[in-house]
Amino acid sequence: MIIDDFLVLDACGLYCKTGDFYLDPQQPVPCAVISHAHGDHAIRGNHTIYCTKATAAIMELRYKKNAGKEFLIYPFSSSFEINAVKITFIPAGHIIGSAQVLMEYGEVKYLYTGDYKLQQDSTCEPIEFVRADVLITETTFADPKVQHPDPVNEIKKFNGSTHNVLLGAYALGKAQRLISLINEHCPNRKVLVHHAILPITKLYESYGFNVGIYELYNRKLMKQPGQNYVYIVPPMTFNSYFRARNVVRVFASGWKDLQQNNDMKLYISDHVDWNDIITMIEEVKPQLIWTLHGDGNHLKKYYENKLPIKLLNRC
């Protein structure tokens, strides 16, 4: 029997009452199951943390001694229990180490996706599909109007000129994916990376994900016009360079708002779009859907009278 309040939102985040743990808490808690290492899912200061090895490594790289009191590391497809709730990490395809969290209790399977994507990405473990009775899915782009373009076609836009490019991207996951895509599909382009992106990229390589050829940013290089450089920088640096001259300003994101006032649009997202969410539901075959992180109303309308949907949304 499905427990209606198996997961509830409280002041600290998404709480599993049965297992007495939190999924990706927003405030430090005694027991946290972390899906992946992005800062809006993996905060510092939790006591006991269950996660994959790569997620722990990134948290320790970023947060140092404040990463957490105790890390309990489990590989994908290996099960463990927290207070009689059986948990298994399933690859989510979002970034390195990202996991869906399959929870089993009383012969019912609850699948928390965390953030996930279905698009091919050579810089992280590809998503795997499992069956579950309840699907708890992110709905960041759960709108029929949102359909992400092919990332290969998007990155090939850089082949249309020889201008140097200032490319804004999140330092964890997106930057490494972009390095790989540029190396594979823009052979005349040379990649420079911001110093804040370098340690995470080196960590990716230590886990066997070779992103391709790149070098640390050199100010003199970017001052040479027409040299085919793509300088990848984190968002804060990108925003501070709003007066940069002799470069094409681009920001890689699925959000339309982040494409405004730039010289080129680059729609590359590490989240599922509408069609991918529908595919996920078809693969998981849930009896119920609970939604998080975005607007679940489009899904609720789409599956009206077909599949019950409960909105747990926290934007």
When divided into structural domains, the chain yields a total of 2
pTM, whole model, 2 decimals? 0.95
Question: Among the residues of 142-249, which ranges form H helices?
Answer: 151-155, 174-185, 198-206, 219-222, 235-240
Reported as a single tens digit per residue, the pLDDT across 181-217 is 999 999 999 999 999 999 999 999 999 999 999 999 9
Q: How confident is the model at residue 274 (pLDDT cuts 50, 70, 90)?
A: very high
Residue 117 domain flag: yes
Helix axes of 53-63 and 198-206: crossing angle, nearest 10 degrees: 150
In the 8-state DSSP scheme, what is residue 296?
-
Q: What is the largest CA-CA distance in the chain?
A: 66
Q: If you search the block for the tokens 């360079």, which residue do you land on?
A: 241
Its domain, for residue 213, covers 151-266
Reported as a single tens digit per residue, the pLDDT across 288-306 is 999 998 899 999 999 998 9
One domain, residues 275 and 135: yes
Statement: residue 314 has pLDDT above 60? no
What is the per-residue DSSP string for 39-52?
A: TTT--S--SEEEE-
One domain, residues 87 and 161: no
Task: Please choose, from the candidates 181, 180, 170, 139, the residue with its C-alpha nearest in 3D space to the C-alpha of residue 276.
Answer: 139
One domain, residues 181 and 261: yes
One domain, residues 135 and 14: yes
Reported as a single tens digit per residue, the pLDDT across 54-76 is 999 999 999 999 999 999 999 99
